[in-house]
Amino acid sequence: MAHTSAATVAPGRSVWNGGVSPMGASYGKLMMWFFLLSDAFTFSGLLITYGLIRSAHPGYAGEVEAFTFSTEYWPVPEKVFEAVPFLHGVELPLVFVGIMTFILIMSSVTMVLAVEAGHRMDRKAVEKWMLWTILGGITFLACQAWEWTHFIVGTDTPTLVKDFVNGEWVTKEVFGANLRINQYGPQDFADFFFFITGFHGFHVFSGVMLNFLIYYNTVTGVYDRRGHYEMVEKVGLYWHFVDLVWVFVFTFFYLV
Amino acid sequence: MAHAQEPQVTVIPPDKEKIKKLWTVAGILLFVTIIEFIIAFTMGHGTLKTAIFVGLTIVKAAYIVGEFMHLRYEVKVLLWSILIPMIFVVWMLVAFVYEGMKFSEINF
């Protein structure tokens, strides 16, 4: 596997003169790295815009216990995300997000174990760990589906929100959220929730698809015939990146 | 497609040390997340809290990129080709959040 750290070249010739891989990685792996760099910029764009809009809105100044939803200030995230499936009405701030984080980190571990097994040409172990990784990805997506549903449907008590209807301002009771009106805070808050977690969720979804492809190729013996399991490594890079982005989304959207 | 001869594959036995190290990294990631949770519910909101969260996030990111994505062990040229462009992100973050604070002084 491409793990030789230094390329050997004839004396007097630069490693950049061709014929060797100066970065010690295959073309495909290198391009995956640079794709991930560009993807990191895209996510940075979303998260930094979130930071811009959030710091442009007044924060909630009172006690956290007395917090109520209002479009006047940016909501405290732990008061928005406090629901857990099957525990209706119980306030468990950030617990469900914590579970989702745990699931994604664990699926990252199983992925790195699949890559390790691939280095050893151990088909059975790659199959096992890829299956665990796919399961982790699907579980994460299911959790996100539930979280979105809860966010869209809303809480038991509505929030009074001013809305511009037929040329005049009316105050109405709003449950949940969509891209135009929401009960949690300024409209930008809900919009960023949908865009940032949605864009990340889409990455998880495509990651699961790629993982399945790798699993299929492993089972059918494609990589054994090819003589190496480098595809597992490349898709592994993508999957770890998805986990990496979640670490940032978790901090900047849910914790801060 | 006719089934060609299955290639002879020799499976190398697992290196216990290496696998143990991977689980250790996972343990560190989970531990840091738990620390973040504790801080989230015991500290008042403020600049210090945000700074701690950003710091811990960078620690987690370094472990994921360095160990799981194996970047620490790659050729240094590759490492720097990935890390140096991140300067733009840092600049953009500082510039835009500063700008946002100015917006809030003007608009609200």
Nearest beta carbon to residue A244 from set B26, B64, B108 = B64
Counts for chain A of helices (H) and strands (E), in that order: 7, 2
Which residues, including other chains, have CB under 8 Å from residue B43's CB and lie 6 or more apart? B49, B52
Q: Is B41 on the interface with A (CB under 8 A)?
A: yes
Q: DSSP E strands: which ranges in A103-222?
A: 159-165, 168-174
Do B90 and A41 contact (CB within 8 A), yes or no?
A: no
Range of the domain at A206: 25-59+68-255
Give chain A positions within 8 Å (CB) of B57: 247-248, 251
CB count, 10 Å around CB of B38? 9
Q: How far is B3 from chain A (nearest CA, A)?
A: 11
Amino acid (1-letter code) at residue A2: A
pLDDT of residue A1: 44
B84, B42: one domain: no
Do A60 and A75 contact (CB within 8 A), yes or no?
A: yes
Give me A173's structure tokens: 């009771």
Number of domains in chain B: 2
B63, B96: one domain: no
How confident is residue A229, by pLDDT bands cut at 50, 70 and 90?
very high
CB contacts under 8 A, A 27-46 vs B, are 30, 33-34, 37, 40-41, 44-45
Number of domains in chain A: 1
Q: How far is A115 from chain B (nearest CA, A)?
A: 10
Q: What is the pLDDT of residues A189-227, one digit of tens each?
A: 999 999 999 999 999 999 999 999 999 999 999 999 999
* Enclosing H/E stretch for A70: none
d(CA B63, CA B52): 17
Q: Give a yes or no: residue A240 inside a domain.
A: yes
Range of the domain at B86: 75-108
This model of the complex carries an ipTM of 0.89
Q: Give a yes or no: residue A6 inside a domain.
A: no
Q: Give a yes or no: residue B92 inside a domain.
A: yes
Scanning the structure block, which residue is given the tokens 């993807």? Answer: A39
d(CA A100, CA A129): 19
Residue A5 reports pLDDT greater than 60? no
CATH assignment of the domain containing A203:
1.20.120.80
B60, B93: one domain: no
In degrees rounded to 5, what are phi and psi of residue A184? -90, -30
Q: Give a yes or no: residue A7 inside a domain.
A: no
Q: Give a yes or no: residue B46 inside a domain.
A: yes
Q: Give a yes or no: residue B30 inside a domain.
A: yes
Q: Give a yes or no: residue B68 inside a domain.
A: yes
B32, B48: one domain: yes
pLDDT of residue A2: 45
- What's the residue count for chain B? 108
Q: Give a yes or no: residue B85 inside a domain.
A: yes
Interior CA angle at B5 toward B3 and B7, to 5°? 125
Q: Give a yes or no: residue A139 inside a domain.
A: yes
Q: Give a yes or no: residue A5 inside a domain.
A: no
Q: Give a yes or no: residue A249 inside a domain.
A: yes
Q: How far is A61 from chain B (nearest CA, A)?
A: 10
Mean residue pLDDT across chain A:
90
Q: What is the pLDDT of residues A94-115, one digit of tens each?
A: 899 999 999 999 999 999 999 9
Q: Give a yes or no: residue A1 inside a domain.
A: no
- CA nearest neighbour of A240 among B29, B76, B99: B29
Q: What is the pLDDT of residues A138-155, one digit of tens each?
A: 999 999 999 999 999 998
Residue A118 reports pLDDT greater than 80? yes
B23, B68: one domain: yes
Q: Give a yes or no: residue A231 inside a domain.
A: yes
Nearest beta carbon to residue B89 from set A44, A112, A225 = A44
How confident is residue A87, by pLDDT bands cut at 50, 70 and 90?
confident
* Interval B47-66 mean pLDDT: 93
B108, B83: one domain: yes
Q: Give a yes or no: residue B54 inside a domain.
A: yes
In this prediction the pTM is 0.90
* Interval A151-163 mean pLDDT: 89
Residue A9 reports pLDDT greater than 80? no
B68, B92: one domain: no
- For residue A19, what is the DSSP state? S
Scanning the structure block, which residue is given the tokens 């015939």? Answer: A225
B31, B57: one domain: yes
Residue B34 reports pLDDT greater than 90? yes
Q: How far is A173 from chain B (nearest CA, A)?
A: 24
B64, B79: one domain: no
B33, B63: one domain: yes
CB contact under 8 A, A123 and B88: no
pLDDT of residue A226: 93
